[in-house]
Structure 1
Amino acid sequence: MWQSRRVTDRQEQSILEQLGGVSGLVYSTLPILVFVPINSIWGLTAAIWGALGVAAAVLVWRVVAKGAIQPAISGFLGVGVCAFIAYRTGDAKGYFLFGIYTSLAYAGVFLLSILLRWPLVGVLWGFLNGHGNSWRGSRAAIRAYDLATAAWALVFGARYLVQSQLYDTDHTGWLAVSRIAMGWPLTALVLVATVWLVRRADRAAEALVEAGADAETEPEAGVESDDRGAQSNGSGDERS
């Protein structure tokens, strides 16, 4: 049991590493912090180059520090897409358009997975820990994964509703504030809730496996006792 907990902890740490760690979540806000003030002072073109420059600097820093590269590359590509949309729309608020509709898509996917009875958190966690879909045999595990998946759907849905409203009302500055406030702090919070629920689901799945193992051994024990009884009866008949 202790070894299982250690394996779970290592897997949870690997998830955070795939997100870039705590520093990676913080670094993801730097291009936004640069984009908005530069746009208000020097205009959209300078803001675009500023955001791209910061994202490139973070990528180089990750390479030099030998940190997680994948999140930095994904972050740089994400900034590139946002900058391209802002350039094409000719408006600074266009920088946030990609994130707004990405949040809507994620919320829809997480919610749909719950309705289909295949909560996405459970599917992803089963893939990461190598247990596959064995958790689907436990109702308690399914409920825990439903709650974890619903938490992520709620976060992404809230991001879309708040930021789309700010986009429609041309509040670019508040868009940046909401992007940061509903970004890594909210992600860290829902990640903590997810870890707690995943542990509950793992315990429920382990209990199901142990119950199945006990059920398999009980008939064998019964057969052995019957055999012993038959042997004793046979010996009794021989004595008589």
Structure 2
Amino acid sequence: MTSLDKPTEDAQQEREPAREPEQDSRAVTEAALFEAFGGVRGMVETVVPGLLFVSIYTINKDLHLSAIAALAVSLVLVVVRLAMKDTVKHAFSGVFGVAFGVVFAMMTGNAKDFYLPGMLYTLGLGFAYIITTLCGVPLIGLVLGPVFKENLSWRTRNPGRKRAYAKASWAWGLILLGKSAILFPLYWWADTTQLGWVLVALKIPPFLLAVWLTWVFLAKAPAPIDVFAEMEAAERAEKAAVASKGGE
């Protein structure tokens, strides 16, 4: 094929369907949410320790063995992350959560208390989403702002985005409070294995629902304002102004 026969870049671009801005926005939102919440691997790291605890306890009713196994697998997940030079924040949060549960259960001698710190955290987080939204600073915006490189610009410069963060925070808050409304009665009335299996079953579905609703709200919201790009542009302009004055 000669150079005359080769398709030009313009011709290739004409044949390729142009990406809609809305598609780009949704793709960016999906990628950011995947990064912020840990994706599939993060969900696995969240479920496995509790699943191992309740599985072992269901078989032999040994609190110490169940607790040590759950803590050990959490540490293994962190080591694997470190070995792969991957982000460890989700694995570390899992270790701390399991460690609190282990300490709590060991202190009280009640196997159900392994789950209590996580349940209290879920309840507190649910209230935090609701309260911060009522105060005009929705928590999900504080979490995702740095991920989208917009920091807090959505509060004063992007009202449509602030409304989307408020809706998402309401969704997270109500879902977490609904989950707590199921778990706390079971903590008082059910046995350890019943509570454990219900808790494992409720790990992923409410989380996925909350993430999906967040994606829906943000995908329809205005694009984030990249404050980092703005600061870099201002810095370049300042350097250019200084250089032009020096050349005079």
TM-score category, normalised to shorter length: 0.7 to 0.9
Structure-2 change in CA distance of 1:59 and 1:116 (3 Å): same
TM-score by length of 1: 0.74
Letter in 2 for 1:27: E
The structure that has the greater radius of gyration is 1
Q: Per-residue CA shift, 1:122-156, capped at 9, x if unaligned?
A: 34333432332345456544432222111100121
Shift of residue 68, structure 1, vs aligned partner: 2.5
TM alignment of 1:57-136, pairs within 5 A: 57-131=76-150, 132-136=152-156
- Aligned match for 1:25, one of 43, 64, 75: 43
**Correspondence for 1:148:** 168
Shift of residue 121, structure 1, vs aligned partner: 2.1
Q: Residue type of the partner of 1:75?
A: G
Alignment-derived partner of residue 185 in structure 1? 205
Opposite residue 181 of structure 2, the aligned amino acid is: L
RCO comparison, higher one (Cα < 8 Å, 6+): 2
- TM-score, normalised to structure 2, is 0.72
Distance 1:148 1:197, change over 3 A: same
Q: What are the ranges of 5 or more consecutive residues in structure 2 without an aligned counterpart?
A: 1-18, 226-248
* Structure 1 contact 111–150 (Cα < 8 Å) conserved: yes
SS at match of 2:137: coil
Paired residues of 1:135 and 1:201 also in contact (CA < 8 A): no
Equivalents in 1 of 2:144, 2:51: separation in Å? 33
**Structure with greater helix share of residues:** 1
How far residue 89 of structure 1 moved from its aligned partner, in angstroms, is 1.2
Matched, 1:157 2:157: no
Note if contact 1:93-1:172 (Cα within 8 Å) is conserved in structure 2: yes
Name the count of aligned residue pairs. Answer: 205
Q: Is the 8 A contact 2:29 2:218 kept in 1?
A: no
Structure 1 position 168, deviation (Å): 0.7
Question: Percent of pairs identical after alignment?
Answer: 26
Query: Aligned to 1:176, which of 170, 186, 196?
Result: 196
Deviation (angstroms), 1:43: 1.0
Aligned ranges 1:224-235 → 2 under 5 Å: none
- Paired AA for residue 153 in structure 2: N
Counterpart contact for 1:18–1:70, Cα < 8 Å: no
